[in-house]
Each structure stands twice: as C-alpha cells, then as structure tokens.
Amino acid sequence: MNYKNRIVVMCVLLAVYPIQIYAQQVNDTLTISLAQTWQKAEIYSRKIAISKKATAIASTEILDAQRERLPELEVMGSAEKATNIPIYGNGVFTKPTSQHEVIHNLYKVGADLYMNIYNGNKLNLKIEEDKILHQLAGIREAETISGIRYQVAARYLELQQALIFKELILKDIADQEKQLKEIQSFYRNGTVLKSDVLRVELDLSKRQLTLVKIENDILIANQKLNIIIGEPDEKVVRPELTQLPVDVGVYSDYLAQALQHSYAWHISESETHLGELHVQQVKSNVRPKVGWYGDFSYANPQIFLYPYNPSWYSLGVTGVKVSFPISSLYHNTYKLQSAKLELEKEEEAHHDTEDKVRQQVKEAFLRYKEALVQIDVAGKNVQRAEENARIIKVSYFNQASLVTDLLDADVKLLESRFELAAAKVLAQNKYYLLQHITGIL
C-alpha cells in the first residue's frame, strides 16, 4: 500500500472512530413503531399543546356568552354628610344672610336589576359565533396534529432509509473486500496489473467514506426525530419496518374523503359561516331593545316625597324598558353593505379553497402512484444490475474486460439497491402526505 492510500485509510479510521465511541457510550436503544412515535409526539409537541389551549379558550368563550343571558345584578350602599344651605340674600360675593337647616346624615343601601329580554337577537348571534369559533379551533387543532404526524412520519422514514442504506453499504463493502482479496491473489500470480489493485482499493476507500456519511446521516436523522418526540438527543432510536397498503385506491374516493375531512376546506367553510353571522349581526343594529329592570333600596332620611323627615324608608320600582336606536337607520347602511361584500369574498375564497383541495389531492395521488411505479422499476433495475455485475465479474477474471468495467458494474449495482430502498421510503412518504391532505392522517 503506497503513501497516498495509507493517508486515505487513516482519514477513514479517524472519521469512524468517534462514531464507534459514541455507539459504545449509548447503552439504551428505543425500538419504536410509527404509531408509538405519533403518540409520543402528540404528548410532547408544543404546537399541539398551543392548539389545545386555543380550543379550550374558545369553549370557555361559549360559556361566557351563555352567561350573558342571566340578569345583571348590582348592590350598592352609601353614607353621606351634608352641610347647611347658605342663603346669599345680597349676592353671591357677599356674606350669607342666613343658613337653611337640612338633614345632615344620609344613608342608602339598595340593589339594581336588569334582564335583557330582546336586543335584536345579538346575544344569540354572539353565542352562535362563539360556537363556530370553537369548531374552527377544533379543526385547526386536528390540522396541527395531522401536520405533526406527517412531520414525524417524514423524520421516521428518513431515519429508516439511512439505516437501510447502512446495511446495504456494509454488505457491499464486505463484498468489495472479498473481491479485492481475489484481485490481489490474481496480481500475485501475475494475472492482473498493479493498477487494477490500486483502482479497487481506491474504490473501496470511497465506499468507506460513504459509510461515514451515512453514519452521520443516521445521527442527524436520529436527533431530528428525538426532538419531535421529546427524547434526549443521544437516545438511539430504531424504527420498525413499515409496509405500504396493498390497495392503492382510486382518486374519486380520496377526493370524496378530502371534501369531507380536509382541514383547509372545513376552515374555509367555517369562515364563510362567520361571514353570514356578521351580516345578521349588522342587521340587528336597527332592531329595538327590550329589558326588564328593578330597583329596591333602603334609605334615610326620607327625601323622596315632601315633606321630608329623618326616618328610614324603603322603595321598590320595577318595569319594562323599550328603546329603539333611530340613528342606526342611517349609520348602519354602509356597515351592512361592507358585511355583505365581506360575505361574498368569503364565499369566493371557499370556492377557491375547494379548487385547491382538488388539485392537491390529484397531485398527491398521482405522485403516490408514480412512487409505486418507481418501486417496480427500481426492483427490476436491481435484477438487471445484479446480472450485469455477475457477467462483468466473470468476464474480468477471464481477462475479457477491464477493471473499470468491473468497478462501474459494482457501482451501478449499489446505486440500484439504494434507489430501490429510497423508492420504497418515498412511496410511504407520499402515502402519508396524501392522507394528510385528505384529512384522515
């Protein structure tokens, strides 16, 4: 082995050594399924926690609006001290000519009651609005959970792919080392040139460097997944192998599911309902207001009726109050026009959202089917590459082909195996993306 090759091997060993130390330090390995990963992510995710809080707040807003049906009750009390009333017989800027005696101590306790009977149906509309906002918060919560699930699936599959690549490269390195020994044996017998041995050794070094990169990819993907599911960065996660569903389904079924479950579609629908309610709320501004009120009090002195006297008395008053905002007849005109235009805008946005959902479902469905076709093609390519590598190897050791042909065949075989593994992972990614878009993930 010449000086340059020794340097390459040394670099490889230095790069691999920290990884080996890391593997020795980590004693616990978490083997987990995708469903279990989703459960951990839903518990740990701060985004999901925020969306749940928003849903809880919206639920409380409904209860708060419903409490507005109860009457308004107020209690009060007062204690006052009054002075005599000076009489300015000769003008304000002169000394008072006399003092009018009054009752100096005044006390009063009482209660006021008001109960809304009718206020243009504003309260019922407010409760209905809060219910729609609560429903909207629930949809957004479900959308957040689905988004986290797809993100977890992508990270899970990324780690799974890196681990599969590692197995493939380790097997390939073992095969290449075995082949190198055969070529070195042929070289010692004078059958092949020294350059052939060097080319194979160089190609093996490149594979070892690829292994280092894949090992780092595993560490990076492992940390990304750990962050989502709330595990320590150093925790070793080993995903279980996931399988694609046998039945692909048809586009019409996915579209029907999307129009029934799609988060974007339901959010747009709820916002349209809010626009309709806003129009009704603006119309309610020109309706009368009817309420029942009551007032009861104890007071001293009695200054409600003449003649006054320093005694305690009680007074209760009840009745119905009716008012009509006449100014709203002209103040409300453009408010109503603006609310109607806003509703028309929301309706157009809802139709636009429906178009986008149809397009997204179509694209995701076709990409999923494309990925499945890619698996079939990649599988056939692996068979062709294996047969080609076998033929070239026999030809090379029979001195009928060059070492470059042998190395090229080996590289194509490794690439085809990588492509097959990547195609399987990509198909699963597209499948979960399709489920996320249709709202059933």
Q: Return the amino acid letter for 288.
A: P
Q: How many CB atoms lie within 10 A of CB 329?
A: 11
- The length of the chain in residues reads 441
Beta-carbon contacts of 90 under 8 Å, excluding residues fewer than 6 positions away, are 97
Bridge partners of residue 108, in order along the sequence:
78, 299
For residue 356, the model assigns a pLDDT of 92
Surface-to-core class of residue 160, CB atoms within 10 Å of its CB (0-12 exposed, 13-18 middle, 19+ buried):
buried
Nearest Cα residue to 8 out of 215, 198, 166? 198
- Determine the Cα–Cα distance for residues 7 and 430; give it in Å rounded to an integer: 43
Is the pTM above the cut of 0.85?
Answer: no
For residue 99, the model assigns a pLDDT of 82
For residue 374, the model assigns a pLDDT of 92
- Determine the Cα–Cα distance for residues 84 and 93; give it in Å rounded to an integer: 18
For residue 181, the model assigns a pLDDT of 87
Nearest Cα residue to 274 out of 150, 133, 368, 159? 133
For residue 215, the model assigns a pLDDT of 93
Residues 300, 314: contact at Cβ < 8 Å? no
**Cis-peptide into 239, omega within 30 deg:** no
For residue 27, the model assigns a pLDDT of 53
Q: How many helices (H) and strands (E) does the chain have?
A: 10, 8
- Determine the Cα–Cα distance for residues 292 and 148; give it in Å rounded to an integer: 52
pLDDT tens-digit profile, the chain (441 residues):
454 455 444 444 444 444 454 444 445 788 888 889 999 998 988 889 999 999 999 999 999 999 988 888 999 999 988 888 888 888 877 888 888 777 888 888 999 998 988 888 889 999 999 999 999 999 999 999 999 999 999 999 999 999 999 999 999 999 888 888 888 888 888 777 888 888 888 888 998 999 999 999 999 999 999 988 888 888 898 988 777 766 678 888 898 888 888 899 999 999 999 999 999 999 888 899 999 989 898 888 887 777 778 888 888 899 998 988 888 888 888 989 999 999 999 999 999 999 999 999 999 999 999 999 999 999 999 999 999 989 988 887 877 778 888 888 888 999 999 999 999 999 999 999 999 999 888
For residue 5, the model assigns a pLDDT of 53
- Determine the Cα–Cα distance for residues 330 and 417; give it in Å rounded to an integer: 76
For residue 23, the model assigns a pLDDT of 43
For residue 193, the model assigns a pLDDT of 82
Surface-to-core class of residue 142, CB atoms within 10 Å of its CB (0-12 exposed, 13-18 middle, 19+ buried):
middle
For residue 26, the model assigns a pLDDT of 47
- Determine the Cα–Cα distance for residues 421 and 379; give it in Å rounded to an integer: 9
For residue 93, the model assigns a pLDDT of 79
- Determine the Cα–Cα distance for residues 377 and 329; give it in Å rounded to an integer: 72
Superfamily of domain 3-70+120-288+324-438: Outer membrane efflux proteins (OEP) (1.20.1600.10)
- What is the distance in angstroms between the CA of the first residue and the CA of the last residue of the chain? 56
